[in-house]
Amino acid sequence: DQQVKQNSPSLSVQEGRISILNCDYTNSMFDYFLWYKKYPAEGPTFLISISSIKDKNEDGRFTVFLNKSAKHLSLHIVPSQPGDSAVYFCAARKNEKLTFGTGTRLTIIP
Amino acid sequence: NAGVTQTPKFQVLKTGQSMTLQCAQDMNHNSMYWYRQDPGMGLRLIYYSASEGTTDKGEVPNGYNVSRLNKREFSLRLESAAPSQTSVYFCASSRAQLGNTEAFFGQGTRLTVV
């Protein structure tokens, strides 16, 4: 029973364009949603989060949107840069525990 | 500032051997976690500790034990390693206060069981 789903294993985007990564969840009790970025042979690093009571949070080039009625969140990166090439995990928090999706590998094409 | 430190970085075990993965954080965080990452499976929670002396099972606890030795250290033990435990293991910590959601991860331990 996968409570957090990232249905796109991979995504390729041209440099300078917008990257949109999607995530769906099933448990309405999650109170925070987070995005992590992971490079090979490194641990995940935190990117941005959003509370379940908000619908948008922005931090520089990164914006996370939350649609609670659809149980869907998305991460927008604009403009995309070569250094953004990595695996992106969405995560959802309930009772201080994080449940992760399976990840989306983003490749930025120069 | 070291953050979250895991040892060892790499390990090869024979089936049936035991070992302990060590994790320490220097951020004075209350909560600590152990995750495993497998291809196509994302990160799955093995065990969680909300504070010193307390532990709780996660999604995939079978075959593992943990010890929260003090506020800084949280170890993961494999008593009898199996090939299915071949994975990359990540330790993480967070302040776990209301509204503070960020968890910091270590560099990972790549474990191979043959």
β-pair partners for A34: A49, A91
Tell me what pLDDT residue B112 has: 97
Chain CA centroid to CA B46, Å = 7
Contact across the interface for A89 and B96, Cβ inside 8 Å: no
- Confidence class for position B99, pLDDT limits 50, 70, 90: low
* Closest-CA distance of chain A to residue B42, Å: 4
Tell me what pLDDT residue B1 has: 62
CA–CA separation, B66 and B70 (whole Å): 12
- In A, which residues are within 8 Å of B29 by CB distance? none
Write the pLDDT tens digit of every residue in A42-98.
999 999 999 999 999 999 999 999 999 999 999 999 999 999 999 999 999 988 888
Facing A46 at nearest CB: one of B40, B99, B102: B102
Tell me what pLDDT residue B97 has: 60
Tell me what pLDDT residue B100 has: 62
CA–CA separation, B31 and B12 (whole Å): 29
Write the pLDDT tens digit of every residue in B44-76.
999 999 989 899 999 999 999 999 989 999 999
Tell me what pLDDT residue A73 has: 97
Residue A19, pLDDT > 70, answer: yes
Residue B98, pLDDT > 60, answer: no
* Closest-CA distance of chain A to residue B80, Å: 26
Q: Taking the CB of residue A11, how many other CB atoms lie within 10 A of it?
A: 15
Q: What percent of chain A has pLDDT over 70?
A: 99
Q: What percent of chain B has pLDDT over 70?
A: 94
